Each structure stands twice: as structure tokens, then as C-alpha cells.
Amino acid sequence: MSTVKSAPLGLRLEPRIKWALEAAATREHRSVANMVEWLVLDHCQRVGIRIPEQGALALEAKDDERKGSTDTVRRRGR
């Protein structure tokens, strides 16, 4: 069982995109949430986006709290 907390994400999608996501998840025997995660990870791997480890994100968030920043990604210009 994973000890990593998940972060909620709300999305608004066109009905046809939602249908396609649900169809893809069903075909792959995944939940919709797991399908979204898999698609993002697959895309990042294909285009060379490095995803930091969970522990590194936690340390970065604590550092941001001390500095008063709440948006690390925007601050880095991504």
C-alpha cells in the first residue's frame, strides 16, 4: 500500500473528451484517476520532462513555506 498522499485535481472537460477518457480507462482496466496519472507520466517520459521524487517535492514545499512562496512552478517560470 502506498504511503504517498494524493493531491486532488478538479477538471472540466468537454463531454466527448470525458467519454474518451472513461473508454480508455475501461479498456486498460484502470480507474479514470489512474488513467490520467498514467497519461501524464507517459507524456512526460516521451517529451523529456523529469518528474521529481515525492520526497523532493515535500522538501521544496517546506522551503517555499519558509520563503512565503506558494507557487513553485510559476516562480520557476514553467
User: Is 40 within a domain?
Assistant: yes
Q: Place 17 in a pLDDT band, splitting at 50, 70 and 90.
A: very high
Q: How many domains are there within the chain?
A: 1
Query: Given this model, what pLDDT does residue 25 score?
Result: 98
Q: Which three cell numbers stand for residue 55?
A: 520526497
For the chain, the distance separating the N- and C-terminal CA atoms, rounded to the nearest angstrom, is 32
Query: Given this model, what pLDDT does residue 61 score?
Result: 65
Give the range of the structural domain holding residue 56, as residue numbers without chain letter: 15-68
**Average pLDDT of the segment spanning 9-35:** 97
Query: Given this model, what pLDDT does residue 52 score?
Result: 85
User: Is 64 within a domain?
Assistant: yes
pLDDT, one tens digit per residue, over 25-66 is 999 999 999 999 999 999 999 999 998 887 776 666 667 677
Distance CA 34, CA 77 (A): 28
